[in-house]
Structure 1
Amino acid sequence: MLLEVDRVTEPVSDLAEKVRRYTDWFELLAPKADPDRERLARREGAEVRGFRLWSRLSPPTGREGYVPLAFVVTGRTAARRESRIRHLEHAARAYFAGEPYPGRAAGITAVDYHRALPVVVTELERITADPAGAAGKVWRRLGRDEWQTLHQALDNPDGDRLYAVQLKEARRRLAEREAAEREARRPVCTGCGNRFSDDRWRQVRPSGWPGERDHLCGPCEQDDLARIEAERCARRRAEEAAARAAAGVKSRGLFGRRR
């Protein structure tokens, strides 16, 4: 962790400038790193730590973002220190606040901290007054209101972990919505009123000229074909019976004349 001790003797703009310079250093590319690949990875929301110089000099933090920066403020009054922290928070927000995840789906509020500089603040007076000292809830992450332990302040519960949960939920909602829209488009059989099965729907989807029975579901199509076949067989039998009857009448008439 980087550490700055602030005795409330320099302008807040100088503190914000320090945050900017630290950020600029963390964004320096490592020797022989491909800047085009780094820009592409950044646009796609990929982890870009491996392209940066600091990754060759510092071990992984185990969290999203750069190596954290801590300001220990001391001196003057508690009100003056609080006002100073608030002004620093406003001036340096662009460097610690994180960004929306690229192409984020609706309902995702998680923050992408991978290219952010975590900034925590404390007061020396607060540390000395707490029985647990620096291990107590004497740290505040800029961008948050509560005082926490250092571990809590550096954690990102609204970062990757929340993003994974919200992305899974967003994908579930999207799948449900697409399924509902698909069901709304599923054809309804004009014969029985039931919706088509997936197999039948695939058969009748437009691929050329519409079929004669595309308005019927599979069972109704089979019933219609069976009805037509039965009618055809009945007509054939009727025609054969009529032909036999006609032949019999002709035969009897012929014998009659012979008598």
Structure 2
Amino acid sequence: MFIEVDNCHETAEELAAKLEKYARFFRRRVKDTDGRERPMWRTRWTVPADLYGETPHPAVLLFFNHIGERNPNRTIPRLMELTLHLWKGQWQREGYHLCDGKIPIVAVGLKNLREHGPTGPVFFRFGRDRPQPLLEVIGNPRLEAAHAREAEADRARQTEYQAQLQKAAQEQAAKKAVEAAREAAPREARRPSCASCGSRFTDERWEAAEETDWG
């Protein structure tokens, strides 16, 4: 996360110009140690693996300390308009914004931060409707929830498919057993019995009796 501290002396246009510089910085590419070209900032800092086809940039935190005459409550809406192309993601029909290549821009005021602390819901990310805790504001919970639902649906489909395979295998085995019993019935009717005890001959005894032809 990059931090810009504003004592409320700068205009929204001046802050927007700074954010444009961040965008140019994130677009810079260099050759890494393996010879492959990558964004320069990714060669300087540890970066988590990209998830869900989204490659976000580091967040920029605008830290407002209300000392100057400018009111951040009026500066932020104008700044959001000027930097819309930098932070606004593409809406997906699954119910989330895909923020690939976008900059998470977050605003926080010193007064709220002092009152609620860094884990409180005081961080406002451009494009969202309410302040959130820091770890929530820099993520994409709707995207994660959508992929969690998709993964759960895939698991359910796989479970159903495996159950169908098992049922088909059981039906096939039962069918083969019935066919085998039907084919074996005429032979079983001819199987001889012991004259003394009435027990049916085993296959081995039947085969031995036929080979010796004892009558």
TM class, shorter-length? 0.5 to 0.7
8 Å CA contact retained: 1:30, 1:54: no
SS of equivalent residue, structure 1 residue 135: coil
- Residues 1:164 and 1:91: Cα distance change in structure 2 (over 3 Å): farther
Q: Distance in 1 between matches of 2:68 and 2:42?
A: 39
Q: Distance between the aligned counterparts of 1:96 and 1:112, measured in 2?
A: 11
Q: How far apart, CA to CA, are the structure 1 residues paired with 2:62 and 2:104?
A: 11
Does the Cα contact within 8 Å between 1:108 and 1:167 map onto a contact in 2? no
Give the C-alpha shift of residue 80 in structure 1. Answer: 2.1
Aligned residue pair count: 148
- Larger proportion of strand: 2
Match of 2:58 among 67, 74, 78: 67
The one of 104, 116, 132 aligned to 1:118: 104
Taking a change above 3 Å as real, the CA distance of residues 62 and 147 of structure 1, as seen in their structure-2 partners, is farther
Instruction: Give the whole-Å Cα distance in 2 for the aligned partners of 1:30 and 1:145.
Output: 37
What stretches of structure 1 move > 4 A for 4+ residues in a row? 61-64, 76-79, 163-169
Q: 1:134 & 1:109 partners in 2: Cα distance?
A: 29
- Aligned partners of 2:8 and 2:68 also within 8 Å: no
Q: Highest CA radius of gyration, 1 or 2?
A: 1
Q: Distance in 2 between matches of 1:8 and 1:17?
A: 15
Give the aligned partner of residue 201 of structure 2: none
1:109 Cα deviation (Å)? 3.7
8 Å Cα contact 1:96/1:116 also seen in 2: yes
Aligned residue identity for 2:108: T
Shift of 1:20: 1.2
- Contact 1:16-1:91 within 8 A present in 2 as well: yes
Instruction: Give 5+ residue unaligned stretches, structure 2.
Output: 154-215
Same amino acid, percent of matched pairs? 20
Does residue 8 (structure 1) correspond to residue 8 (structure 2)? The answer is yes
Q: Does 2:56 align with 1:56?
A: no
CA distance in 1, matches of 2:118, 2:32: 40
What letter corresponds to residue 25 of structure 1 in structure 2? F
